[in-house]
Structures are given as C-alpha cells and as structure tokens.
Amino acid sequence: MAWRRAGAPGPASNPRPSDGFRPPRSRRLTIAGRLLVGTSGFAYRDWAPRFYPADVPERNLLRAYAAQLPACELNNTFYRSPSEGAIDGWLAATPPAFRFAVKAQRGGSLRALTVDPGTSVPWLTNPLRRFGERLGTVLFRVPVEIERDDARLAALLDCWPRDVRLTLEFQHRSWHVDETFVALARVGAVLCTTDLDHLEEPPPIRRTGGFLYLRLRRTGYDEAGLAAWAARLEPFLAAGDDAFVFFRHDANGESALRARRLAALLGSAPES
C-alpha cells in the first residue's frame, strides 16, 4: 500500500471560501473521497444516552460506536503498545469498512525521533500489522518540547515502512515550514491539521500525502463552525482524497454528535 498515488501533487493548502462559511446543504454531495470521521477514543460510558443507547453494556461500546461513525482515533495505544487480543477484539467489534487511526506509543515515538529510529520504528509498527487493511494510519505525535530538527525527521522517515501509512502532528510551531512539508511529501507522509481553542483562525489544511488528517480540538463547534469545516473539506473529498477527521472526547458525547453532524453535512454515512 503506497503512501501517495503516482502523480499526486506535493504540499498544497486548502482553497478557502471567501467568507469562511457555506450554509448547510440538504442534498447529498457528489464526493469521490471518503470522510472517515469520529472521535478521539470511544470507551466513554457517560456518552449514554446522548450517543450510546442507555442500556448498552461497556463491552459493546465500540460496536455501538461503529454503528454510527466510520473511524476512531485510538487513545490507549499512546500509553501502551496494543496486545494481539486487544486488536482482535477491536476488529471483531467493527465492520470491514471501519478504520482505526492508531496513536503511536509515546515512549517509542520519542526514541524513534530522537535516539534510534532503526530499532524503535519496527518496535512501534510491527504489532500494528495485525490490523491489516483496517489500519487507516498511525498518528505520530511530536510534543511541543521538541523543536524542528530536519536531520532527525529525515532519519525517521527513511526508517518508516512504506506499507504503514504515517501521519505526523507537530506541536511546536518551528516545524510548520516549507522544509518540513517537502520532507513529508517526498515519502507521502501526511501532515496533521490541528484546530485548538487558542488559535484565532482555523489552521490551513496542507496536503502532503494521499489523504488528509484533521484533529478538531476546540471545546465546542456550533452549526456555523461545522458547516465551515465541511466547506473546507469538500474540495478535497470531491477530488478523491479521503479525510480522517476526529473531534476531541468530552464528558457527555457532544463531540460524537458533532462528528455525526459533520458527516451529514457532507452526505456521508458509515459503511458496513
């Protein structure tokens, strides 16, 4: 599975609507790409009854989640490498079209970027092969304490297996320069777009690989905000790019409802 289609363009920013907002549409849009929208994590019993049925047992939360949303960003893989049993359970609870975005384990990620990618990258990626085609991408988070280092990034990308799709989230602003975008595009790795409360404007969407990855992390998004993100995503989806979009988890399931609403605005629904 290649990271980038043959002839696909390099880094590109999104075309923005002139006023940043487009009204919600009731018709089904013609989009060639797939919207893989969901939330960061799923095992939140308090999301019942707003999102989960009131009587759903905890062991069936992922099954209930997958009936409504087509993808999930796994949180617990950030703290420990998943066991074979855990992966098998997640696969069994979800339909074939469901996709997992797996956060790379944080300790292994730090070692892979700063110490020894030749050893640490296989340690990170080999267990994840059990997901098979259900592995949408690995989310590799670079913490704010680590500033831009082109040589370290190049070593990481050179060691990363080409059949495991990679998304990088750079939290320090020094990484967000053309040199980084070109390095990612060279191998088809994807730049994560992260929207946060303190940002005055939504961040640009830069396409460096064969799909998009967005983390919508603001505390809240009203209808106008969701419609604006739908408008920004639509040109990419229409052009055939898949887009992973994940909302932050919250206390009562509102984020999951927002994910479902974004899917509705773009005429998308979970596949079986």
Secondary structure element (H or E) that encloses residue 103, with its range: strand 99-103
Task: List the domain range (segments joined by +) for residue 260.
Answer: 35-265
- Domain assignment present for residue 181? The answer is yes
Q: How far apart are CA 117 and CA 114, in angstroms?
A: 8
246 contacts 73 by C-beta, under 8 angstroms: yes
Task: Assess if residue 186 is contained within a domain.
Answer: yes
Distance CA 84, CA 90 (A): 10
> SS3 of 253, please?
coil
Would you call the peptide bond into 15 cis, given omega within 30 degrees of 0 as the criterion?
A: no
3 falls within a domain = no
DSSP conformation class of 76: G
Rounded-to-integer distance, Cα 201 and Cα 96, Å: 37
Distance CA 85, CA 269 (A): 29
The C-alpha atoms of residue 71 and residue 45 are separated, in whole angstroms, by 18
Number of domains within the chain: 1
User: What is the rounded distance in angstroms from the CA atom of residue 70 to the CA atom of residue 100?
Assistant: 9
Pull the structure tokens for residue 71.
């993808």
Evaluate if pTM is beyond 0.85. Answer: yes
Within 10 angstroms of residue 124's Cβ, the number of other Cβ atoms is 23
Q: Count CB-CB contacts under 10 A for residue 263.
A: 21
Q: What's the pLDDT score for residue 268? A: 77
Identify whether 119 is part of a domain.
yes
Is 156 a domain residue?
yes
Asked if 9 and 184 touch (Cβ cutoff 8 Å), the reply is no
Q: Which two tokens stand for residue 32?
A: 């060639």
Q: Is 210 a member of any domain?
A: yes
> Has residue 2 been placed in a domain?
no
Predicted confidence pLDDT, tens digits, the chain (272 residues): 333 333 334 455 543 332 333 334 434 556 789 999 999 999 999 999 999 999 999 999 999 999 999 999 999 999 999 999 999 999 999 999 999 999 999 999 999 999 999 999 999 999 999 999 999 999 999 999 999 999 999 999 999 999 999 999 999 999 999 999 999 999 999 999 999 999 999 999 999 999 999 999 999 899 999 999 999 999 999 999 999 999 999 999 999 999 999 999 998 766 65
User: What CATH number did the domain enclosing 140 receive?
Assistant: 3.20.20.410
Domain assignment present for residue 175? The answer is: yes
SS3 content of the chain, % helix, strand, coil (to 5): 40, 20, 45
- Is the sign of the CA dihedral 95, 92, 85, 48 positive or negative? positive
At which residue do the structure tokens 């064969």 appear? 210
Residue 226: CB partners within 8 Å, gap ≥ 6?
A: 258, 261, 262, 265
Number of CB atoms found within 10 A of residue 223's CB? 12
Integer distance in angstroms from the first to the last C-alpha of the chain? 22
The partner residues of 194 in beta bridges, in order of sequence, read 215
What pLDDT shows up at residue 32? 86
